[in-house]
Structure formats: structure tokens, C-alpha cells
């Protein structure tokens, strides 16, 4: 029985599925990397950026970024990259990176529709490819609760592709990892290159490969964890913690207002202590902070635990618009 073989680190084909505020900068960063930051070896990776939005693809192929993050000259000057909505072009891909949105429903439950569709696309693509003895790797970056990658996404890929997951000595296999996105949209100080990348994989060999892959182009470096679930949980806790901290100061602001005390003056005074962590009151929106806690409370309820503090924080922050 033949042993599995991972793609060549510095010379592989990469497909980024989802070209939003996470996937687009990532695809450009990978395509523009000419030399490994670790080994200084030459990097020759080909990148295909895939998105179902026909208008978005048409704009990117003309060098137009409606989000105004990258100039037309920079986009058009990036070699080794192609933007497409044609799934057939993904059939040559060895490394899939999934960066699709993970919103919530009107009932505040996780909406994994985009993630499931992306998994189906990967399954279709690796089904028709033998990879000449190499085994493809699927890396998820979309924010999820612990367990989504291997309990929901992987079974979809297995079923559609007919390939086995995480087999050490099975040539018709594929592997996966999880590396949570940490991009703060619109923040020019903390970009993809300046934020430490948490990495993980389904086994030690794959974990090392994924960590080396990101380390080769992320200047801030990486932080490898022991499992995919740990990496998923790390992402969830980052934004949940921020949501709770904002909820605390929001509730304080409500109390201070009723006491006819200026909240800003209170915060300015408290901030003179060296270990006081300042948060200002306000609305909580965007892609992450107002969404991620619901993913965690959903999973907690699924395993029989009713969250108290996290749910209370969400209730306070949702109330603030009033």
C-alpha cells in the first residue's frame, strides 16, 4: 500500500474560495510571495481565486477593487494569479483555502450555507483528480464553532469526492487544517502580514506542512496548536471576549447616565491605572464581534450547557441601538 504524499511546499497550486475581505488579500499575498521568509528558497506557487459573484470576478480581472484596499496597478501587476467563477479551473488545485462568510440566521443561529457549498465544490474538484500520488489539503479560515471543520465540512467532502479523510497509507485520501482569519477590515495597521497566524492540521505531518506554508509568507510568524478544534475555539474566544468587555462598559454607561455621570470622564480616570483595559461604549456590529458569540452559545446548547455571561453580553449589546 502506497504512502500518502503532500504537495510540494514552494511549488503548489492554491485555490482560494471566497474573495471577500479575507480571501482577496490572502490570494494576492500568496501570489506575490517570490521567496520563502524562512528558507529564502524561491517560491513558485500558482493561485486561483474563486468566487460565485460574477460581478466581483469581472471587476477583479479588470483590476478593480471596490473595497479600495488595493490599487488597479497592484492587482494587474500580480502574476501567477487568476480570478474565476468557473469551478472546472479548480480541478488542478492541490491546496484549497476556504474563506467564505459564516453569518447567522434571523434567529441568531449559525448559518453554514456558504461553508457547506464551498465543501461541496472541493469535493467535486478532488473527485476527478488523482494528483499523481499527492494528497490535497483543504484549509478552512472561516469563523466557526469548535467541531464544524471535521464534523460537518469534512463528511461533505468525503461523500462527494469518494476519497478518504486523513489516511496515513491510502493514496486516495485528502487532509485538512484550520487557520482562523484575523483580518480587521479597514485597519491599515493590522494587515494580513502583521498578524500572527494560528495554524493547525488533522495530523502532525499536515500540521507541520500548513504551519510552514503560512510561515513562508506571513512576516509576523505563526502559532501552531495541537488540533483543529483548538484553532477553531481560539478564533471564537477572541471576538467573544471583546463582545463581553464592550457589554460591560455599555451597561456601565447606562448606569452612569441614570446617575448623571459622564461615562468618558469615568473611563479617563480609571484608565490612569496601569492594568485597566479601556473599552468605550457603543454599538457592536460588523462581520465578527456581533456574530461569533452566537456560534459559541449554539454549540454550548447543543452539548447541554446554557451560557450565562456570553448570552447576557449579547443581550446588552443588542439592546444598545435603542
pLDDT for 2: 56
108-163 pLDDT, tens digit each? 999 999 999 999 999 999 987 666 668 999 999 999 999 999 999 999 999 999 99
Closest to 294 measured CA to CA, from 310, 317, 316: 310
Number of H helices, E strands in the chain: 11, 9
| Known active-site residue 167 | no
Full residue range of the structural domain in which residue 189 is found: 13-226
Q: Identify whether 80 is part of a domain.
A: yes
Same-domain pairing of 184 and 103: yes
CATH number at 271 reads: 1.10.1040.10
Examine the fold and report which residue of 206, 226, 246 is the final residue of a domain before the chain moves on.
Answer: 226
Asked whether residue 3 is domain-assigned, the answer is: no
Q: How far is CA 251 from CA 241, 264, 302, in A?
A: 16, 14, 29
Q: Which whole-number Å values give the CA distances from 222 to 29, 69, 110, 194, 219, in the listed order?
A: 15, 24, 28, 11, 9
Instruction: State how far the Cα of 121 lies from the Cα of 48, in Å rounded to an integer.
Output: 14
Shared domain for 313 and 195, answered yes or no, is: no
Does residue 244 sit in the same domain as residue 139?
no
Residues 245 and 198 in one domain: no
Q: What is the mean pLDDT of residues 248-256?
A: 96
What pTM, to 2 d.p., does this model score? 0.94
**pLDDT interval class at 69 (50, 70, 90):** confident
Instruction: Using the 3D structure, point to which of 226, 260, 275 is the last residue of a domain.
Output: 226
Alpha-carbon gap, residue 50 to 59, rounded angstroms: 13
| Three-state DSSP class for residue 140 | strand
Q: Are residues 63 and 128 in the same domain?
A: yes
Calculate ∠ Cα 114-116-117, nearest 5°: 65
* Percent above pLDDT 70 for the chain: 96
Q: Domain check: are 27 and 149 in the same one?
A: yes
Please check whether residues 150 and 30 belong to one and the same domain.
yes
Q: Is residue 52 part of a domain?
A: yes
CATH classification at residue 127: 3.40.50.720
Flag whether 7 is in a domain.
no
Cα(36)–Cα(39) distance, rounded to whole angstroms?
6
Distance CA 18, CA 118 (A): 9
Does one domain contain both 221 and 246? Answer: no
Claim to verify: residue 259 and residue 123 sit in the same structural domain: no
Catalytic, out of 12, 125, 202, 288: 288
Mean of the pLDDT values across residues 77-98? Answer: 94
Contacts for 319 with CB less than 8 Å, ≥ 6 apart: none
Domain count, the chain: 2
Tens digit of pLDDT for each residue in 259-312? 999 999 999 999 999 999 999 998 886 668 889 999 999 999 999 999 999 999
Asked if residue 1 has pLDDT above 50, the reply is no
- The pLDDT value recorded for residue 286 is 65
Instruction: Identify whether 231 is part of a domain.
Output: no
48 plus 148 within the same structural domain: yes
Domain membership of residue 64 (yes or no) is yes
Q: Is residue 311 part of a domain?
A: yes
**Any domain includes 310:** yes
Pairing of strands 13-17, 197-199: unpaired
67: pLDDT strictly greater than 80: no
User: Considering 171, 204, 226, which residue would you say is the last residue of a domain?
Assistant: 226
Whether residue 158 is found in the same domain as residue 181? yes
* Helix intervals (H) in the chain: 23-32, 54-61, 72-77, 113-127, 148, 154-161, 204-215, 228-258, 263-270, 292-302, 309-319
In this structure, are 146 and 295 located in the same domain?
A: no
> What mean pLDDT is predicted for residues 192-207?
95
Amino acid at each position: 500500500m502506497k504512502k500518502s504524499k503532500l504537495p510540494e511546499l514552494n511549488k503548489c497550486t492554491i485555490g482560494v474560495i471566497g474573495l471577500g475581505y479575507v480571501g482577496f488579500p490572502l490570494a494576492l499575498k500568496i501570489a506575490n510571495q517570490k521567496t520563502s521568509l524562512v528558507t529564502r528558497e524561491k517560491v513558485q506557487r500558482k493561485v486561483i481565486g474563486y468566487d460565485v459573484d460574477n460581478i466581483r470576478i469581472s471587476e477583479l480581472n479588470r483590476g478593480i477593487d471596490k473595497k479600495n484596499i488595493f490599487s488597479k496597478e497592484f492587482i494587474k501587476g500580480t502574476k501567477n494569479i487568476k480570478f474565476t467563477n468557473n469551478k472546472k479551473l479548480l480541478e488542478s488545485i492541490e491546496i484549497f483555502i476556504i474563506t467564505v462568510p459564516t453569518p447567522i440566521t434571523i434567529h441568531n443561529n449559525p448559518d453554514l450555507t456558504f461553508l457547506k457549498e464551498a465543501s461541496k465544490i472541493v469535493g467535486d474538484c478532488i473527485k476527478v483528480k488523482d494528483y499523481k500520488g499527492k494528497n490535497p489539503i483543504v484549509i478552512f479560515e472561516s469563523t466557526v464553532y469548535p467541531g464544524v471543520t471535521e464534523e460537518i465540512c469534512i463528511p461533505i467532502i468525503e461523500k462527494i469526492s469518494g476519497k478518504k479523510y486523513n489516511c496515513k497509507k491510502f493514496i486516495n485520501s485528502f487532509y485538512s487544517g484550520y487557520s482562523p482569519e484575523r483580518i480587521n477590515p479597514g485597519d491599515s495597521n493590522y494587515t494580513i502580514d502583521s498578524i500572527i497566524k494560528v495554524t493547525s492540521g488533522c495530523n502532525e505531518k499536515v500540521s507541520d506542512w500548513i504551519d510552514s506554508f503560512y510561515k513562508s509568507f506571513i512576516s509576523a510568524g505563526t502559532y501552531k496548536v495541537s488540533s483543529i478544534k483548538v484553532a477553531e475555539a481560539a478564533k471564537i474566544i477572541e471576538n467573544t471576549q471583546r463582545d463581553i468587555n464592550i457589554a460591560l462598559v455599555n451597561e456601565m454607561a447606562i448606569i452612569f447616565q441614570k446617575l448623571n455621570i459622564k461615562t468618558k470622564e469615568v473611563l479617563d480616570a480609571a484608565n490612569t491605572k496601569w492594568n485597566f483595559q479601556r473599552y468605550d461604549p457603543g454599538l457592536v456590529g460588523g462581520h465578527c464581534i456581533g456574530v461569533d458569540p452566537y456560534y459559541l452559545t449554539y454549540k454550548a446548547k447543543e452539548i447541554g450547557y446554557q451560557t450565562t455571561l456570553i448570552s447576557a453580553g449579547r443581550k446588552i449589546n443588542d439592546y444598545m441601538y435603542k
